[in-house]
Amino acid sequence: MRIAILADIHGNLPAFEAVLDHVARQHVDRLIIAGDIVVGAPDSAACWRLAQTLGCPILRGNHERYVAHFGRPDSPPEWATERFAPVRWAVEQLTEAERAAIEILPLAVRLPDLPDLLVVHASLRSDRDSIMPYTTDTDLAEMFPDLHERWVVRAHNHTGQVRLWDERTIVTAGAVGLPLDANPTAQYLLLEQRASGWRIMHQSVPYKLEAALRRFRETGYLEAAGPMARLFMREVATASYYIVPFLRAYARWSAREPLALDEAVERFLMVE
């Protein structure tokens, strides 16, 4: 049994296409997409529609949740701000029927014939939980209540990693469209079933990075999605963290003085 698990595509169509071409040559038995197909690079709708042609299980990541719930009366007030303009761009690309289909995606995949394997986006508790080398066993137990499987595959943190937890193994798949390990390739996970468990094979696939970066300019995304789109473009180009460090810096700066988002991004990029 061979399984390909793709995650964190984030609207990067050239990276998604390159990974699917690579997967087609790996003789896999199953394909699973572990969430965050949308928001980031400009082609959320194209990536969603391509995923629909694959006939495979798809999980709802936190960015699918943003797209599905965007504009609702009960959505958080900050979602209406310029910070969430990349989400608005993705929403405007998708039909209402597509957003409805995104909303009902499952949060976990359990395969009856593979009872030792669980696939989630971030954890069983939340679609935004992060697992780091310093995450405690107590925190893991809270993220995965009533966990029966020995193997967990997840996404969300955009870097491939393996965490041992008692008798369990937690594998983070890496990101197809937005890796954050300073290696700007399209990354995904292959699992191969062995008598002793699963063989873990993180994959790194070169793709047409310049084509992905051109999409930011030729689609009008940089103008329409504003300052945050510049940070997403920098993440795609460098496979390095920009969004989270910027948001932390912006919170510090805003606590001291009023600061427009575009001014803050400019300041951050100059400091960086």
Class of residue 200 by CB neighbours under 10 A (exposed 0-12, middle 13-18, buried 19+) = middle
**CA angle at residue 105 from 75 to 207, to 5 degrees?**
100
Instruction: pLDDT tens for the chain, 272 residues: list them.
Output: 999 999 999 999 999 999 999 999 999 999 999 999 999 999 999 999 999 999 999 999 999 999 999 999 999 999 999 999 999 999 999 999 999 999 999 999 999 999 999 999 999 999 999 999 999 999 999 999 999 999 999 999 999 999 999 999 999 999 999 999 999 999 999 999 999 899 999 999 999 999 999 999 999 999 999 999 999 999 999 999 999 999 999 999 999 999 999 999 999 999 76
Q: Which of 144, 153, 128, 154 is nearest to 62 (CA)?
A: 128
The Cα 60–Cα 66 span in angstroms is 10
Q: Which helix (H) or strand (E) holds 154?
A: strand 151-154
Each residue's pLDDT tens digit, 77-123: 999 999 999 999 999 999 999 999 999 999 999 999 999 999 999 99
Residue type, 178: L
Instruction: Give all strands of the β-sheet with 30-33 in edge-to-edge order.
Output: 30-33, 2-6, 186-194, 197-205
The pTM is what? Answer: 0.97
Determine contact, residues 70/42, Cβ cutoff 8 Å: no
The Cα 257–Cα 226 span in angstroms is 21
Q: So what's the pLDDT on residue 272?
A: 66
The Cα 264–Cα 256 span in angstroms is 13
